[in-house]
Amino acid sequence: MQRARRHNPYPLTWEIPLGIACAVLLTLAVGVHLGDALAHLAAGQPWAWPQPRDVFGSIPAVLAAEPASAAVDPRVWIVTVELLLTGSLGWAAYSTWQRWGPSRLKGMATSEQAEQVLGVRRLRKVAAIVRPDLHARSPREARR
């Protein structure tokens, strides 16, 4: 396991970055249309969504359109939705990097797996050895 941490080359190929780029572009395109559709609903108009073949082609028209109502500006809705989606993408990227990235912990059991192997009784019996900072039998043991 230690040898795999030190030297486990992964070939850098184009599929993963291309898939990530496509997912980001699709999310941003859907965000423009979702913000526009929410602006239509806020203005009291029916839900407006483009045909699937027009998702990318209609973005310039959506961004250049004049507000349907003076009280509701679709650009504000679009920016808000895009910020929420970008934050969600960032969180997903961070979670993915922590779970499967090169800096993840390798060979560590989850708490469920440890309980399955050791059992609750055994874990409680050796708690002072496993986590002496939390389960010291005396204050003197905690200082060691």
Predicted confidence at residue 139, as pLDDT, reads 59
Predicted confidence at residue 138, as pLDDT, reads 66
Residues 34 and 58: their CA atoms lie apart, in Å, by 13
- Give the C-alpha distances (Å, rounded to integers) separating 76 from 57, 115, 116, 119, 133: 21, 50, 51, 55, 51
Instruction: Give the pLDDT band of residue 89 (cuts 50, 70, 90).
Output: very high
How far from chain centre, in Å, is Cα 127? Answer: 34
The answer to whether the CB of 5 falls within 8 A of the CB of 102 is: no
Q: Is the pLDDT of residue 141 over 60?
A: no
What would the two tokens of residue 43 be?
A: 């203005």
Helix (H) or strand (E) holding 28: helix 15-42
Counting Cα atoms < 13 Å in the Cβ hemisphere of 129 gives 5
Q: Is the pLDDT of residue 58 over 70?
A: yes
- Give the C-alpha distances (Å, rounded to integers) separating 102 from 5, 35, 99, 106: 9, 36, 9, 9
Q: Which three-class secondary structure state does DSSP give residue 75?
A: helix
pLDDT, tens digit (0-9, with 9 covering 90-100), for 22-33: 999 999 999 999
Instruction: Give the pLDDT band of residue 37 (cuts 50, 70, 90).
Output: very high
Predicted confidence at residue 91, as pLDDT, reads 96
pLDDT, tens digit (0-9, with 9 covering 90-100), for 97-125: 888 887 777 777 777 887 788 788 887 88
